[in-house]
């Protein structure tokens, strides 16, 4: 993991939290849900190419979404069965109360994310381009048209949304940087985080590569750890506080 703890030891604790969406904030991967129900089965072959590192996530999503052929009603039906992490709404309230900036960074699609968040009643807390950064999607009849507004040129990894660049830009000198994720699309982001919460594929990746992380099941686990981080302590500075969590 890249060491970003380079501010003075007495720096005031100002954490910032970045979260993946599919499979992290949601209980299921919404993009996979759409593809499994509405796309030609060959989307799985493209997924394997991405998992093997043969293509980037942008190319993967472009090719997969091109395989979707369904009316918008079926698209919405596929999206609307996906629930949020049972503790995410409470975590949003916690972050707002503690004045901890909370960002969603996702290779997934803003159209889908906003619909899921709206059904859960937390959509007003996230505004595209402000604290929600994701790939874009337009519905054109039975087809879907993706675009990628947060892919810097060039992105070395071919990401659909370059989470590493966004973290570097959006942190604005705050520390520690906290990242919460579950999938392979998060593996580049963890290099820019001081504290990582991981499950599923990301947890396996961190363990295989010797990256310190906190396993988690729900956002309650994340909140409990951050409460410890923010609690008054006899040590000064976030470096000591972060070290105390390990």
Per-residue pLDDT band for 234 (boundaries 50, 70, 90) equals low
Nearest C-alpha neighbor of 231 from the set 218, 220, 219, 244 = 244
Over 90: is that where the pLDDT of 20 sits?
A: yes
- Domains of the chain in sequence order: 16-28+84-245 (3.40.50.1000)
Question: What H or E segment, with its residue span, contains residue 77?
Answer: helix 72-80
Q: Please state, in angstroms and rounded to a whole number, the distance separating the CA atoms of residues 21 and 30.
A: 9
Q: What is the pLDDT of residues 47-86, one digit of tens each?
A: 999 999 999 999 999 999 999 999 999 999 999 999 999 9
Residue 155 is predicted with a pLDDT of: 84
Question: In this model, does residue 10 exceed pLDDT 80?
Answer: no
Beta-carbon-side half-sphere exposure of residue 33 (alpha carbons within 13 Å):
22
Say if residues 101 and 16 touch (Cβ distance below 8 Å): yes
How far is 35 from 68, CA to CA, in rounded Å? 7
Per-residue confidence (pLDDT) for residue 211, from 0 to 100: 96
Mean pLDDT over each residue of the chain, to the nearest integer = 91
- pLDDT of 235 above 70: no
Separation between Cα atoms, residue 109 and residue 114, nearest integer Å: 9
pLDDT at 243 over 70: no
Whether 16 has a pLDDT exceeding 80, the answer reads yes
Please give the Cα distance from 9 to 213 (Å, whole number): 22
Examine the pLDDT at 159 and tell me if it is beyond 90: yes
Range 208-216 average pLDDT: 96
Percent of the chain with pLDDT over 90: 84
Q: Which residues pair with 155 in a beta bridge?
A: none
Instruction: Inform me whether the pLDDT recorded for 193 exceeds 60.
Output: yes
84, 27 Cβ separation under 8 angstroms? yes
Q: In a 3-state reduction of DSSP, which class is residue 7?
A: coil
Residue-wise pLDDT for 129-150, tens only, equals 999 999 999 999 999 999 999 9
What tokens appear for 212 in the block? 């310190």
pLDDT value, residue 51: 93
Pairing of the two strands 102-109 and 143-147: unpaired
Which of the four pLDDT bands, split at 50, 70 and 90, describes residue 8?
very low
* Collapsed DSSP state (helix, strand, coil) of residue 108: strand
Residue with tokens 């969406």: 21
Per-residue confidence (pLDDT) for residue 168, from 0 to 100:
94
**Cross-strand bridge partners of residue 102:** 17
**75-133 pLDDT per residue, tens:** 999 999 999 999 999 999 999 999 999 999 999 999 999 999 999 999 999 999 999 99
């Amino acid at each position: 993991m890249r060491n970003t703890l380079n501010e003075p030891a007495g720096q005031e604790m100002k954490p910032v939290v970045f979260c993946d969406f599919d499979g992290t904030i949601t209980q299921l991967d919404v993009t996979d849900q759409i593809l499994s129900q509405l796309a030609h089965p060959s989307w799985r072959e493209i997924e394997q190419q991405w998992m093997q590192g043969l293509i980037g996530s942008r190319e993967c999503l472009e090719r997969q979404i091109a395989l979707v052929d369904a009316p918008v009603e079926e698209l919405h039906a596929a999206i609307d069965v996906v629930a949020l992490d049972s503790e995410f709404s409470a975590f949003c309230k916690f972050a707002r109360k503690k004045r901890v900036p909370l960002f969603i960074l996702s290779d997934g699609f803003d159209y889908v994310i906003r619909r899921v968040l709206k059904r859960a009643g937390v959509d007003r807390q996230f505004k595209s381009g402000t604290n929600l950064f994701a790939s874009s999607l337009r519905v054109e009849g039975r087809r879907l048209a993706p675009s990628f507004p947060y892919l810097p040129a060039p992105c070395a990894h071919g990401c659909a949304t370059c989470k590493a660049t966004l973290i570097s830009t959006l942190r604005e000198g705050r520390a520690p940087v906290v990242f919460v994720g579950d999938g392979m699309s998060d593996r580049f982001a963890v290099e820019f985080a001081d504290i990582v919460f991981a499950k599923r594929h990301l947890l396996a990746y961190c363990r295989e590569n010797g990256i310190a992380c906190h396993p988690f099941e729900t956002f309650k686990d994340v909140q409990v750890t951050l409460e410890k981080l923010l609690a008054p302590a006899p040590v000064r500075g976030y470096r000591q506080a972060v070290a105390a969590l390990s």
